[in-house]
Amino acid sequence: MDLLPKTRDDFKKSAFWDSFFNKRGTKAFEWYGEYTELYEHLHKYIRPKDEILVIGCGNSKLSADLYDVGIPRITNIDVSQVAIKQMTKINKDRDEMKFIQMDATKMSFQDNQFSVVLDKGTLDALMPDNSKETLEKVNGMLDEIKRVLRIGGRYICISLLQEHIIKHILPYFKQSGWMFRVIRCFDPEVSTARRGQTSLPVFMVVCTKMNPLPTPIVESCFNGTKVERVSDETIYREIRSIQETSLICSGLGKTNLSESDEVTLDLFDVNVDTPTARYTLYVLDQPHKKKNGKYAAFIVPQGRETEWLFSTAKGRRHLLESAGFDRLAIVTMHRGQRYGTLDDVKRELNESIKTLAPITNIKTTQNNDTKIPYLSLGVDVGRREVRYEGKSEMSGAFVIEDVYKDEGIYRVLVFLSNQSLVQSEAKLKKVYEHGTEKLVVDFGYLGCDHHKFMSIGVELAKFLNKDATVLIVGLGGGGLCSFLQRSQKSIFIKAVDIDPEMYEIAKNWFNLTEDKKLKVEIADGIKFIEKECTKDNKYDSILFDINTDDASLGMSCPPKAFVEEKFLTHVKECLTKRGIFVINMVCRDTTIRDDVLRKLKRIFPLVVSYSLEQDQNEILYCVNGHWNEWETYFEKAALNLNISAKKPGLFHEDAVDAKHFKEKMIKIS
């Protein structure tokens, strides 16, 4: 470690480099990767007939490696006389290769002498900051490179591209009218990580000397083989993002996250033309326990990434604690990607999983191959089949999939704008019609637990009117409507949804059927209720099950407009005397939640809350009147729901735990 610079300024001193190479001797020092880790990129821009100048050669083997594969005309310069003497002696049998002591900022070569100038770490060494003195020296080197390169020649610079460097050289070469390209070199990073060392992103900049272009060309190739024309700001942003991700990964090896939030990373396949996220990794720590293992990875089967245990921070924390490891990397797979066997996935992930390990706790074999246990729910990667892909003008692109789990087949609707959330889910069962097997929806399964507790609001309404009229705003896949349609004998349901595509999805993929008990109307829920008020139409129960497309908001259910005070008064006006208004609320912002509760309390005499333990859903029951002994009514409604669901044979067990429901109900005061 003492052979490395102790301060940034050391990089600019020739005396430091003489001392460096004297201490190191003849052992090569490779900044930013070996030839074998860079050749794939180098040989795209270097040809056997090129006349090459290597600036700041040090005692790197790169020139010798290029020479030995048939690129002989290489001139090497370095400010250190010690390095030049060492390299001249080492390479005495490579007749055509030259080593000259020379300052790259004051070169004595002729104009247009070289077709390639190769720089591996020299720019970084020369530019530790962007002080006036440093910039004068750097510009001196860049000016010299411009001078000695021929038209069509290439300046190839291998660098870590710190922000002050990329923001200097990109404008410099653009103003000169050169073509500018940045490439990410993955192999040096992977190799460094395998050695257990801090791995930093390595980039190759290729600047091609042109007769000044009318419009400068700036390109990047960060995720594979595809080169893209980009803006300066895109270059800066992407490089910064890559560097920040790398620092996080490197820091994870030395950091314990037990008192912090989880870290989330996406892994891209860099071997395709248009890379997209292939895996998402969540890394979590907990305080060390004697019985715990050190580190493991948990692979979530396809189609199960939307379950509470894997899709929520609270669920993943629960998984970490139950898995029994100090650190857990939870891996989810993305739709639209193809995966092999579970072993294939493990092999593909292994190097990335290693980089996230706590370095001091990893047990290794004699060949330094890290042994990390992999956990999962089964012996395969899961299976999902896309049944339909479409686009809604209201909600954007969506996909309908059949997900195969150990306990059965499930049909899910997912909007691609929020892939971690299942909008609707139904369990499928096999039936035979005319000797042919087909899959149909099992209406005894409610994929969303909050639908069960919303249904209690309908049972409450039936205390007032056994032929209750129910308004449901928000159709989705129709699961709640279909359940109530079959479990309640005499009620009438009007479902309203603004999106006609939802109605088609519910009919065609979730077996929603309209009859005398259920009607669907395509309308804006707010305008519909306002119109119902003018007609003096009344409902015994009104249920809101609507979400917003903006996942960044503090409250995702319902949209803000549905809890404005003026609109809530319209809702009350549409209720019968002592009617029940039920809201499915998902709110992460306590300030917003408190504001909603204050509005409801000003309008409704009784507001009761029930929060689902494994979800963020909170069900709010708002009664349009005063109920004495309200707890008894609510408990009885839960018991009646269980009876209603069992009569038509939908459920074989209770839909809800009535006792637990009674204990967890909270009256909002």
* pLDDT over 50 at 363, yes or no: no
* Arithmetic mean of pLDDT, 409-433: 85
Q: Amino acid letter at 395?
A: S
CB neighbour list of residue 347: distance below 8 Å, 6 or more residues apart: none
Q: What is the pLDDT of residue 552?
A: 58
In this model, does residue 21 exceed pLDDT 70? no
In a domain, 2, yes or no: no
pLDDT value at residue 554: 80
Q: Which residues pair with 263 in a beta bridge?
A: 283
- Together in a domain, 467 and 402: no
Picking from 247, 275, 308, the residue at the C-terminal end of a domain is: 247
Other CB atoms closer than 10 Å to residue 89's CB: what's the count?
A: 10
In single-letter form, the type of residue at position 515 comes to D
What pLDDT, on a 0 to 100 scale, did the predictor assign at position 432? 86
pLDDT > 80? residue 429: yes
Element (H, E) at 226: none
Rounded mean pLDDT, 592-607:
94
633 within 8 A of 606, measured Cβ to Cβ: no
13 has a pLDDT exceeding 60: no
Pairwise CA distance, residues 544 & 531, whole Å:
17
Q: Give the model's pLDDT for residue 6.
A: 32
Residues 419 and 363 in one domain: no
Out of 325, 354, 376, a domain closes at 376
* Domain presence at residue 237: yes
pLDDT greater than 60 at residue 436: yes
63 plus 212 within the same structural domain: yes
Report which of residues 39 and 362 the model is more confident about. 39
Q: Which of 376, 394, 413 is the last residue of a domain?
A: 376
Query: Mean pLDDT, to the nearest integer, of 233-250?
Result: 81
Whether residues 195 and 301 fall in one domain: no
Asked if residue 1 is part of any domain, the answer here is no
- Is residue 50 in a domain? yes
Same domain, 365 and 396: no
Query: 320 lies in which domain range?
Result: 253-376
Q: For residue 144, which of 179, 180, 172 has the smallest C-alpha distance?
A: 172
Percent of the chain predicted with pLDDT > 70: 88
* Domains in the chain, number: 4
Same domain, 501 and 370: no
- What does the pLDDT look like over 482-528, one tens digit per residue? 999 999 988 999 999 999 999 999 999 999 999 999 999 999 999 99
The CATH number that applies at residue 289 is: 3.40.50
**pLDDT confidence band for 563 (50 / 70 / 90):** very high
Same domain, 101 and 166: yes
Whether 239 is in a domain gets the answer yes
Is there a single domain that holds both residue 215 and residue 300? no
In which residue are the tokens 């290489």 written? Answer: 74
More confident residue, 252 or 646: 646
> Residue 632: pLDDT above 70?
yes
User: Do the domain assignments include residue 3?
Assistant: no
> pTM for this one?
0.64
Shared-domain flag, residues 243 and 257: no
Interval 248-268: pLDDT, tens: 776 677 677 776 678 888 887
Same domain flag for 76 and 217? yes
Q: CATH no. for residue 213?
A: 3.40.50.150
Residue 510 dihedral angles phi and psi, to the nearest 5°: -120, 15
Is 304 a member of any domain? yes
Residue 359 pLDDT grade (very low, low, confident, very high; cuts 50, 70, 90): low
286 and 189 share one domain = no
> Which pLDDT does position 407 carry in this prediction?
81
Give pLDDT, residue 543: 97
Return mean pLDDT, the chain. Answer: 86
**Do 149 and 28 fall within a single domain?**
yes
Structure confidence at residue 20 (pLDDT): 42
